Amino acid sequence: MRTKYLKLKETLSSFKKVLVAYSGGVDSTYLLYAAREILGEKNVLAVIAQSPTYPVEEVEAAIKVADALDVECRLIETKEFDDENFLCNSTDRCFYCKKELFSRLKMLADEKGIEHIVDGSNYDDRADYRPGSRAKKELGVRSPLQEVGLTKTEIRDLSKEAGLPTWDKPSMACLSSRIPYGTRIDEGILKMVGEGEKYLRSLGLKQLRVRHHNNIARIEVDQHSLPKIMEGDVMDGIVKKFEDLGYVYVTLDLKGYRSGSMNEGFHGK
């Protein structure tokens, strides 16, 4: 891990000045921290994308962390909802979403005279189906954490050592990833999913997903949280909340939470 950190330091030092695609998650927060430590706050710009695909509370939390790091933070609005290629939700949906994001980041970087755009992809991300990585290549976005081989666990360890509040933050992803390929992306669906997940977190549950299957909500939580969620009063409250959101059936996935479960059985890498 130390060797990888030294490689990260060397990589970031060669950039001089960077724009960080920042979400407030574990990876992008550590990348932002490392960039500030190595390049200085005046040479780092954090940019958060606002969109119906990302919960407002996540954006607010990200801004607080950036402020605590004393890094300039900008908000931009992405327009993926104007792109039919995104809305139709094909297996390449993530490519069109990331292309929109990185295109806007590139325009801002050019405006600010910043040559390098970096994102927080880590080494483990290579194992999942991620068509968005094609957009990175097309637009010249770099992933320093991934390039030096830092895994999620190592990034959490480094974040804890650095005193970052995100070191144990649950993994988060764009809300559109909760919708099966082929089901059209709709702001109403994203709101249902987002409100459902917000309610589950209010119960003390951390790592979770609400997968949307038309009138069925498939809830994923960590294996150790399964007993809690199945307690009578808790379960009754969840059912009522999700029925109020518009779901007819509320199900619990007994395999538990796993990142990218919508990609299971899909071999389009």
Nearest residue to 216 via CA among 187, 258, 183: 183
Question: For residue 265, is it left (φ>0), alpha (ψ between -120 and 50) or beta?
Answer: left
Would you name the residues annotated as active-site residues? 174
**Spatial contact of 205 and 227, defined as CB atoms under 8 Å apart:** no
The number of residues in the chain equals: 269
**Distance in angstroms (rounded) separating the CA atoms of residues 165 and 100:** 29
DSSP string, 194-263: HHHHHHHHHTT--SEEEEEETTEEEEEE-GGGHHHHTSHHHHHHHHHHHHHHT-SEEEE-TT---TTGGG
Question: 28: Cβ–Cβ under 8 A, 6 or more apart, which residues?
Answer: 20, 21, 22, 119, 120
Sign for the CA dihedral angle at 231, 234, 238, 240 comes to: positive
Burial of residue 188 (CB within 10 Å: 0-12, 13-18, 19+) is exposed
User: What residues pair up with 72 in beta bridges, in sequence order?
Assistant: 45
